Structure 1
């Protein structure tokens, strides 16, 4: 069930974002990418957890029982799908209620102010030298909205206790000891009965009785052998954290949504609905890519600087079909670093000791996150301008679901911190259609013609040295394998990427000659956990998404392997293909000139 609540600022409040070194403000109001103030779900979860702990202790409940209650509803490390009762509460971010009014009034009514403060030495009761600082705050009467997602099977007495604790949150944000941050809470549009000076009050029992509970029991049984393929669109509703590397308390995010991430989110969604986990394990999903369904290939290069004759834009080429090393004016080409998206901010937080009410030593966390809205055009972006409305990022892919599932839209949660205001997304599915409609043989012929023309254009010129080793093979067919997802390889070492790829593809004996000059291969190591039972997966070697393997072959030999190539596109290569790894496109349309 969803519990919507509103928090009204009775006094100014600080969202406790760190300031920027060298700037005038030491502590700034935390804002989202579009400029609106925000309280992260992590913060709300922390203060509600603390209030639950305080009330339980005040009632004389034993520590062990309190710990079990808190772990059950606020989570603990190791919450995985298998044997999970899904009782953990999910917290959304607190966002400004009326964004349009806020955007219009921000400069008129000064809804954000700033103050000066100074630190006091508690022992000497005198000021600490050079401790003067200033901080921004949100003015009183700002209203924020958020929601809690609670399991429908929660016991009534537990739900009543948690909502009572929510009603009795009296302060929010940072610097509460300085007399700021006082708030008042409404749940589903109502104040708690007995609240002074307000209308629209209801008893807690009445509020709980009006909450809508869904029947989580699955309406049909799933069969293991009947799966249907769909196209899906993934729309990001909240910022997401996709862990790439974790270094101590620092988490670096990935720049793409892997198929395994989408698959895991779907398995969890349907498992919550009561479907058989053993059948759900057979769900398959591809990586979520941009709406044009194209991947930024490693063969894509661009000029180091903008070119005046090209409208002050960088010129892009694909090195599979062009062997140029520099633009006509001598500007060098370098790797293009475009990706599906990139980190747009950092969430910095500290762990607070429930007992001591102070920060725990060494518990400062820094997490990169990706915003859910599209980047603004740099030419149209103005400093401090608030845009309304904003458009969510949409990604596409394909997946396989049990035939009995007829639902077309799912709200899922992906990445880390799913219970703390990150990762909410909507998946919409429709009947599968292949967007790669061009015939495979036609694609091979088209690419081969472009490569041949590139070689012929340099013969007899100073640039002939760039393609000298390819002249004798210019009339042969060119086959290019583009990785549309990471490919997990069953090797302990990479000693000859071109040869090992042919072994994986079953093409080692097909007289394919590796073209090193027109191949662009990146490798890496894949880490991860099994979300079903929490077992850490063994690190595996991968050819990373966007890598390009190029081969040449005689024309008659090419005709004989077309069937094999078609199967490679349909089935993929490498390990864990059901999780979206190993997707391959052959001779896909090249970007650039």
Structure 2
């Protein structure tokens, strides 16, 4: 369910950019120049007023939550003004001792003028009780000011509610979905904040990708009363993917660690892949010739890892830009109505057109259950207006056939240099891989009938933190996504075993997206 919110300005409204200068305060705008106010501004105004209503103490706690102990039901989106008009004003700061204008303290504002309309939504998963609806209606009549400079005459508004039902089945996902896999597409409606770790207590910086663990948690929240909940979430019969930025509904993967570009140059056509040279280098050195591959282009330029993401089906590296925003918020004391000391928080968020990844399942019925969910909320600070996304599950081309094609074409190129002929399976990790305790990477693949020819990877430690308790979760040593692993096999029909590995995932915690991979023909990326 959701509530459509309309706010009509009755005086200039100013919720200024965090980077506005002291002498020039401007209304918030997104990357397209559209004015908006963040959901936290409306939530804060409602919560401050709600705390003055002792007869609704339980409803206030349920709807808005409690600091560090309970998350509220309501999730506030940003409110957008699609046809804005502005007013510019000049102000002076009054010295409180002399009661005259302060020296060199003239400043101006660029605010939404009166008569503008902003629209947004309040989302909630559970049906609201009559008392909760009564509380919200009361708040719309009591809250008459929002934003900054209220004492200077800014921020007078009228607020209107309209209840809507958004629990509709996404029909387009039922057209054609393969039994085992599909493309999960999330379209951000708000900036998202997926924090892997905090560098400082007050600083929250979002990752540019969304880990499968985060996606799984968001769906778990929606599936709590679904009969398939245990199988999908606890039994890990659905493998939730790591999601990567994209402008289109395509399969995107991290750039391989073997894909290089000339240092200090960003020409997307001048890319080099080192995978096949590495295989040849290893084969030659079996004869004790001790040849080493240097990361230098034919023009003598040093090489470095290419940035961006791999467009899987087109074998090219693409660049996807984010609308990165910084928000600063303060915690207000419920007793003094003043800012708490040391409770300022800063959020650095990301916003892309789409986030995509391949989701896998043991049964088609699980996809159908997930397809009934049109919206999910991802990441941290969800009730402050971050992370609302439209969710879709779409069919993909025959991925198993693509795997077979890539294995055959890559093997053909390698065997043109190396004898005796073998089958080579080129894997690209699309998520971090957690290696089981007392096991090596070689043993993981030996158990499945493969031998590793090449492994180009970096190690990392993956951890996250519990928002509710503020405690760090278990840390795992991982092989990072983007790693390239080349397998050997004597079996020319090994694609079935590779496909089963893809569906099952590698290593630990595959339900949270760890251990996912794609078969990539690296020879189709320009080779050094």
Q: Bin the TM-score by the shorter chain.
A: 0.7 to 0.9
Give the structure 2 partner of residue 447 of structure 1: 410
**Measured at CA, do residues 431 and 133 of structure 1 come closer, stay the same or move farther in structure 2, by a change above 3 Å?**
closer
Q: Comparing both chains, which one has the higher relative contact order based on Cα–Cα distances under 8 Å and sequence gaps of 6 or more?
A: 2
Partner of 2:18: 18
Q: In 2, distance between residues paired with 1:564 and 1:152?
A: 44
User: Counterparts of 1:88 and 1:230 in 2: how far apart (Å)?
Assistant: 30
Q: Secondary structure at the match of 2:399?
A: coil
1:288–1:395 contact (8 Å) kept in structure 2: yes
Helix, strand or coil for the counterpart of 2:481? Answer: coil
1:486 pairs, out of 428, 432, 439, with 432
**Structure 1, residues 439-460: CA drift from partner, whole Å, max 9, x if none?**
54x534532454566xx6xxxx
For residues 113 and 212 of structure 1, what CA distance do their matches in structure 2 show?
Answer: 33
Indicate whether 1:287 and 2:223 are aligned: no
Task: Please tell me whether residue 242 in structure 1 is matched to residue 188 in structure 2.
Answer: no
3-state DSSP of counterpart to 2:456: coil
Any idea what SS the aligned residue of 1:325 has? coil
Q: Which residue of 1 aligns with 2:390?
A: 426
Is 1:353 the counterpart of 2:333? The answer is yes
Shift of the alpha carbon at 1:143? 1.0
Uncovered stretches (5+) of structure 1, i.e. residues with no partner: 81-85, 103-110, 189-210, 217-226, 374-392, 457-471, 493-498
Q: Does 1:527 align with 2:463?
A: yes
Matches for 1:366-515 after TM superposition, within 5 Å: 366-373=346-353, 393=354, 395-400=356-361, 403=365, 406=368, 408-410=371-373, 411-430=375-394, 434-438=398-402, 440=404, 443-451=406-414, 478-491=424-437, 500-506=440-446, 512-513=452-453, 515=454
Change (3 A) 1:567 1:347: same
Pick from 112, 118, 123 the counterpart of residue 149 of structure 1: 123
Distance in 2 between residues matched to 1:292 and 1:590, nearest whole Å:
21
User: Could you report, residue by residue, the CA deviation over 1:492-542 in whole angstroms, capped at 9, with x for unpaired residues?
Assistant: 9xxxxxx931123235996644x4xxx431222212357999985311111
Deviation of 1:28 after TM superposition, in Å, equals: 2.1
Secondary structure at the aligned position of 1:321 is classed as helix
1:37 counterpart (22, 35, 38)? 35
11 and 215 in structure 1: CA distance in 2 versus 1, 3 angstrom threshold: closer
Number of equivalent positions = 480
Query: How far does residue 419 in structure 1 lie from its aligned partner after superposition?
Result: 2.1
1:537 corresponds to which of 473, 476, 485: 473
Structure 1 window deviating more from structure 2 (137-146 vs 563-572): it is 563-572
Q: Which structure 2 residues correspond to residues 577-592 of structure 1 after superposition, within 5 A?
A: 577-589=510-522, 592=525
CA distance in 2, matches of 1:239, 1:512: 41
Whole-Å separation in 2 of the counterparts to 1:475 and 1:8: 73
Deviation of 1:2 (Å): 2.2
1:71 aligned partner: 61
Give the CA deviation at 1:359. 2.1
Aligned pairs (5 A) from 1:195-234? 211=163, 229-234=181-186
Q: Which structure has greater strand proportion?
A: 2
Cα distance change, pair 38–234 in 1 and its aligned pair in 2 (3 A): same
Q: Distance in 2 between matches of 1:537 and 1:473?
A: 48
2:282 matched residue in structure 1 = none
Deviation of 1:47 (Å):
0.7
Q: Which of the numbers 254, 258, 261 marks the counterpart of 1:299?
A: 258
Deviation readout 1:95-114 (Å, 9 max, x if unpaired):
11xx2x44xxxxxxxx3343
**1:161 maps to 2:135:** yes
* TM, length-normalised to structure 1: 0.71
Distance between the aligned counterparts of 2:452 and 2:4, measured in 1?
A: 61
SS class of match (1:481):
strand
Q: Which one of 268, 276, 281 corresponds to residue 321 of structure 1?
A: 276
User: Which residue number corresponds to residue 90 of structure 1?
Assistant: 75
